[in-house]
Chain A
């Protein structure tokens, strides 16, 4: 088992499509992998063997997709227990989920924005606390991308995230690409937004590429290279939180050569190294 397991460094999303290239050699800039437990827990056969091979040699982070923190049905405690045992099997110590919902009474299998009301703060924070109790650790919540601002909002997004993180006493997973996508689609200042987040709680960072529709709408696809303004936001985030926070490059389809992804992971590492040392008070 890889040495446990100081955080930090630059990581890459662990995808089946990348495994053959990774078997030939993991790029040196990659200091950890991220996976979705919903895609990997309980998998046997060759995929299970592949995961075991890499988790014995590399650090992994869990980034969930199906927990539906803002969902309507009771929190899926069976899923959480399975994630807990999966994390133990592979020595994984960080789990993050999206601050979104993906199910009402039944699953929709994609991430939707939670209406930003005081009731939703209480509801969602309560579910995060339940999740933290079952996993016996604090979890990170990711600021999501969205294409609609649900009606009836009583708080701004940064207020909503801050209120939930405070009430649940959880960690922040900062996705700078999502900040960028939303800032373009909804015309706000991404840096001012980042400054209004509870950055002292940041435990994990995402960076990714996206797609611009012909009418200018930006869709958070994770299927393209990271663009310069997003790198700029990552650098700006590091100026505020320091470069110690583990940061993952998300790439979910339209895969280039592993070498191209390695260059992007190296960019993360370079920006981390260039960041000032920030002494963060414990969240």
Chain B
């Protein structure tokens, strides 16, 4: 069944995404069309401006708005959640093969700016854990509101006074601390690998460090483990690690003598 009224909706939708190049639908006065195209685009820009202040500043207003427009025009937006519009913008920059030349680091910078928003609001309840537990000997509990990120560019340093020309492999952790503020930490490659292993499956700190020593073919694994045990404590102080898993009480051994 084809419905003429739905053809109007499709036409109006095309117009609203691209009012400069698309004819407005018959029967829509210019004034009303302009009101709508402005309202809708400003609405989307509001979400993007709030999430990407650094990208916006570095591109300059007119390039930024052109990029906002091509995003709204070209990128299919299937999420009903407004907070996911910035995620889609970061995906658009990474995946859309955009024509106008953009800084090589822009997609990663946008991703990094989006992660801050995502970590701040992610629904990641704190699991049970022992905050004092032995991180080497017991399975480690990683803060679920934490993202460990690998970028080709030093995105955390990019700003008006620093626009890198050469890539620099960069590891970062973005996590939500106990006071609900978002914290950023630069990591080295070993720490990033350690966090990746601890996040992938519940394993002890020792097992993770031994695996890293194997992967590196480290000449003296004991040194790495000694270094790593300090590292685990530091990550716990930062709130990136929460502690160790609680030891389940084996049935029948609990003291019930009162």
Interface residues of A (CB under 8 A from B): 38-39, 42-49, 65-67, 70-72, 76, 79, 101, 103-110, 112, 114-115, 117, 119-120, 123, 147-148, 150-152, 215, 217, 219
Contact between B122 and A45 (Cβ–Cβ < 8 Å)?
yes
Q: Which 7 A-B pairs have the closest CB atoms?
A: A151-B27, A66-B80, A115-B5, A44-B123, A148-B32, A46-B180, A104-B13
Contact between A67 and B80 (Cβ–Cβ < 8 Å)?
yes
Give the residues in chain A near B184, CB-CB below 8 Å: none
Tell me the complex Cα distance, A66–B78, Å: 11
Which residue of chain B is the closest to A154 with respect to CB atoms?
A: B5
Q: Does B28 contact A (CB under 8 A)?
A: yes
List which B3-21 residues lie within 8 A (CB) of chain A: 3-6, 8-10, 12-13, 16-17
Q: A44-B145, A104-B9 are in contact. Are A109 and B44 (CB under 8 A)?
A: yes
Give the residues in chain B near A65, CB-CB below 8 Å: 82
A-B contact pairs, 17 of them (CB 8 A): A38-B82, A43-B123, A47-B121, A49-B180, A70-B9, A72-B10, A105-B76, A106-B76, A106-B78, A107-B77, A109-B43, A110-B39, A115-B5, A123-B3, A148-B32, A150-B12, A215-B31
CB distance from A41 to the nearest CB of B (A): 8
Q: A43-B121, A43-B123, A45-B180 are in contact. Are A147 and B32 (CB under 8 A)?
A: yes
Majority SS of interface residues in chain A?
loop
Q: A44-B124, A45-B145, A112-B12 are in contact. Are A119 and B28 (CB under 8 A)?
A: no
Give the residues in chain B near A43, CB-CB below 8 Å: 83, 121, 123
Which residue of chain B is the closest to A47 with respect to CB atoms?
A: B121
CB distance from B141 to the nearest CB of A (A): 17
Contact between B123 and A107 (Cβ–Cβ < 8 Å)?
no
Give the residues in chain A near B83, CB-CB below 8 Å: 39, 43
Contact between B180 and A151 (Cβ–Cβ < 8 Å)?
no
Which of A47, A79, A103, A150 has a CB less than 8 Å from the CB of B8? A150
Interface residues of B (CB under 8 A from A): 3-6, 8-10, 12-13, 16-17, 25-29, 31-33, 35-36, 39-40, 43-44, 76-83, 85, 120-125, 145, 176, 180
CB distance from A21 to the nearest CB of B (A): 19
Contact between A119 and B3 (Cβ–Cβ < 8 Å)?
yes
Contact between B82 and A39 (Cβ–Cβ < 8 Å)?
yes
Q: A47-B121, A117-B5 are in contact. Are A150 and B27 (CB under 8 A)?
A: yes
Contact between B5 and A119 (Cβ–Cβ < 8 Å)?
yes
CB distance from B12 to the nearest CB of A (A): 7
Majority SS of interface residues in chain B?
helix
Q: A72-B9, A120-B5 are in contact. Are A148 and B36 (CB under 8 A)?
A: yes
Give the residues in chain A near B33, CB-CB below 8 Å: 148
Contact between A38 and B80 (Cβ–Cβ < 8 Å)?
yes
Contact between A217 and B26 (Cβ–Cβ < 8 Å)?
no
Which of B5, B40, B180 has a CB less than 8 Å from the CB of A108? B40
Tell me the complex Cα distance, A77–B39, Å: 27
CB distance from A87 to the nearest CB of B (A): 16
Tell me the complex Cα distance, A151–B11, Å: 12
Contact between A152 and B4 (Cβ–Cβ < 8 Å)?
yes
Contact between B35 and A219 (Cβ–Cβ < 8 Å)?
yes
Contact between B9 and A108 (Cβ–Cβ < 8 Å)?
no
Give the residues in chain B near A112, CB-CB below 8 Å: 9, 12, 36
Tell me the complex Cα distance, A72–B2, Å: 12
Tell me the complex Cα distance, A67–B25, Å: 24
CB distance from B89 to the nearest CB of A (A): 12
CB distance from B44 to the nearest CB of A (A): 6
Give the residues in chain B near A47, CB-CB below 8 Å: 121
Tell me the complex Cα distance, A42–B121, Å: 8
Tell me the complex Cα distance, A42–B78, Å: 17
CB distance from A6 to the nearest CB of B (A): 30
Q: A47-B121, A110-B40, A219-B35 are in contact. Are A152 and B145 (CB under 8 A)?
A: no
Which residue of chain A is the closest to B144 with respect to CB atoms?
A: A44
Which of A42, A108, A119, A152 has a CB less than 8 Å from the CB of B81? A42
Tell me the complex Cα distance, A43–B120, Å: 9
Give the residues in chain A near B124, CB-CB below 8 Å: 44
Give the residues in chain B near A42, CB-CB below 8 Å: 81, 123
Which residue of chain A is the closest to B29 with respect to CB atoms?
A: A148
